Amino acid sequence: MEKKKEIVACPYCGKEQEFESYINIDVDIEPELKEKIMSDELFTFECKDCSKKALMAFPCLVSDMKKKYMYWLIANFDDEQKKALDEDLASSMKNDNDKKFAGEYRRRIVGSINELKEKILISDMDLDDRVIEVLKILCINEVAEQLNGAQLSEVRFNKKEDGGKCLVLIFLDRDPAMIDVTEDMYNKVEKMFSHDIEEKTDKEGFAEIDPYWANELINDSIVLTGQLN
């Protein structure tokens, strides 16, 4: 774990003050920080002047030695920032052992706190985030007619209270909706797209696995998707 302190301005009143953030975290060694990530506490800024709270998505590398993942959170990152991370990773690999070590890890870059939390949840459930992203697109395509023109903001994978899996559909103009994700649905997508998924995953740097990636994969795939259910 590595931390730093910086001066930030409150997004509400503009008052500048000190804010402590993390540069890197290994949640296997410090599980309490993982809990703070999942509850948003780690990223919560509370103004000492106006007492209002806001989320600060500071750049942070979250890793887990046991689950073998490295997730870079860089809010609204651009191509140059991703390129710099990939180059830093490449320069840190001095020999074949380093390359083997890095190759064993799931390496991702995400642009929001919600994306980071989702990746961690997927890893905790021993699932493949690439399969989940493809599954999202296929499910939305199947229920598109039922949405009746509703403005879909995002789709998030989540775990239900009973332990089941689901996709949460978040709209701009209506209450959220939920689609159950069965083991059979997941397995079908994994089997159908396994080759395409491997071909389209960045093997060298931090892969950007999101709905845009999944939509492009589906459009380029020769697989006939059929029905999930």
SS3 of 22-66: the string is EEEEECCCCHHHHHHHHCCHHHEEECCCCCCEEECCCCEEEEECC
pLDDT value for 186: 97
Determine which of 93-102, 137-146, 175-184, 198-207 has the lowest per-residue pLDDT on average. 93-102
The pLDDT of residue 22: 95
Q: Could you tell me if 164 and 184 are in contact, meaning their C-beta atoms sit under 8 angstroms apart?
A: no
Alpha-helical (H) ranges within the chain are 31-38, 79-92, 96-103, 113-124, 129-143, 183-199, 211-220
| Separation between Cα atoms, residue 213 and residue 159, nearest integer Å | 23
Residue 226: per-residue pLDDT: 52
Whether 152 contacts 140, CB under 8 Å: yes
Q: What is the mean pLDDT of residues 86-114?
A: 87
Q: How do residues 147-160 score in pLDDT, each as one tens digit?
A: 888 889 999 999 99
What is the structure's pLDDT at 224? 54
pLDDT of 102 strictly over 80 = no
Average pLDDT for 171-196: 94
DSSP code for 126 = T
**What's the average model confidence in pLDDT over 177-197?**
96
pLDDT confidence of residue 223: 61
State which amino acid sits at residue 164. Answer: G
| Cβ atoms of residues 75 and 57 within 8 Å | yes
Mean pLDDT score of the chain: 92
Averaged over 14-20, what is the pLDDT? 94
| Whole-prediction pTM | 0.91
Q: Is the pLDDT of residue 225 over 60?
A: no
Q: Name the nearest CA neighbour of 135 among 69, 193, 220.
A: 193
Structure confidence at residue 125 (pLDDT): 96
Reading the block at residue 43, the tokens are 């990223």
Angle at 173 between CA 56 and CA 113, to 5 degrees: 20
Which of 98-107, 145-154, 198-207 is modeled with the greatest confidence?
198-207
pLDDT over 90 (residue 190): yes
